[in-house]
Amino acid sequence: MGMRGSGEGAEASGPQDGGAPQPAPPDGAGRGRRKAEARTPRPAWIAARAAPFVEHLAAERGMSPNTQLAYRRDLEDYLRRAGPDADVRAEAVRGYLAALQQEGCAPATLARRLATLRAYGRFLAEHGESAAASRRLEGAGRVPEPPDPATALDDVPRPALRPALPRVLSAAEASALLEEAGGAAPRALRDRALLEMLYGCGLRVSELVGLRVGDVDLRQRLVRCWGKGGKERVVPFGRSAAAALRRYLRDGRPALLADRPGGGRADPLFPGRRGRPLTRQACWMIIKAHAAAAGIQRRVSPHVLRHSFATHLLGGGADLRAVQELLGHADIGTTEIYTHVNADHVRRAYLGAHPRAERRASAPREGAGDAERADAPAAPPEAPRAPRGAADPDRRSRGGMASRTSS
């Protein structure tokens, strides 16, 4: 994906007195601002200041291209507002965040902008760029006492975030979505396999579009993917996904490629029109179309299917650590958000296990009346099963996995 313009906020002139960056007037929604700025040429000095930082994110921190793009947009927006003499100072960053807040930026956006500038400050300290910035300020007639850029923003408070519960589909909605994608046409076979992999494996959309033919082992029902930071993991999938993949690889994918080459193990599993990997935007449109056809009123995205995968696993009794490994989360705290969605499951576990619970969650005793049977908790909805041994990293890390993609 080509790197486009900077982040949110319209272009504004730099500060007149070396203070905080001047606010830019809001010009609509964030997405509209980004599109408008993508058409605005970047000054050469901004590109020159941002390029080494982005290279550092890729080479030394192993960030994904999408994360690099987000950080680059954030930094370029700050530099555009602060001017050519911009430095990472607490007072300037506080003014920058205040301006963004006045423009209506969400707390999550403000937190990411601050994280970007803190990372940029550490980069300046590690690579000796702060001295060059000081010389630029001295040449402008100001002799500063520059703080250490690695710690200059430690006292800037992080915007308070309100954790939002993930949006998920019910088990019935997920089943309806998958069934709606049935059919024998090549595109229908592709869409069904794509949806099965998203919901059955909990993959991120960037992980899905990055899959190669050789990453799938149909015999062992495993898929190898690369997550954030290039971290590799192996995720199992069920019989339904395996059947959909076999049909797609046998009948759908060859027809979609037509006369173009693309049958090798290193070729994209889900190619687009020109044989290149399907784009994230194309995946989103595929899901949106099938969700509408299935009568699902809410907004469905690839990440909603990932949320549904995790929530349904926990609702079916899966171990939290196993779900963490399946999702590729570095911190289990990220996975714990899904436990809040499963309040009903927690209640059933309490009623079924605690000796002082008013009513057990097991089947009603023999001879129980209709009222007692009616009060018994319902069984949890059908959900993906936790794979045996999913939490065992030695079991997951199979070196030299031989992929067999034929039926």
Supply the residues annotated as catalytic.
Answer: 204, 228, 303, 306, 329, 338
Question: Rounded to whole angstroms, how far apart are CA atoms 25 and 8?
Answer: 11
Strand 216-217: give its sheet, edge to edge. 216-217, 222-226, 232-236
> Structure tokens of 129?
């760029």
Question: Rounded to whole angstroms, how far apart are CA atoms 105 and 94?
Answer: 14
What Cα–Cα distance (Å) separates residue 372 from each residue in 352, 360, 377, 378, 392? 15, 11, 10, 12, 41
Q: Where are the alpha helices (DSSP H) in 140-235?
A: 171-180, 186-201, 205-209
> Structure tokens of 136?
């630029």
Question: Rounded to whole angstroms, how far apart are CA atoms 228 and 230?
Answer: 5
Beta bridge partners of 236: 222
On whether the CB atoms of residues 78 and 21 are closer than 8 A, the answer is yes
DSSP-derived secondary structure letter, 223: E
Report which of 195, 246, 188 is spatially closest to residue 216, judged by C-alpha positions. Answer: 246
Count Cα atoms within 13 angstroms, Cβ side, for 41: 3
On whether the CB atoms of residues 192 and 183 are closer than 8 A, the answer is yes
On whether the CB atoms of residues 223 and 201 are closer than 8 A, the answer is yes
On whether the CB atoms of residues 216 and 405 are closer than 8 A, the answer is yes
Beta bridge partners of 232: 226
> Which residue in this structure is represented by tokens 């902008």?
113
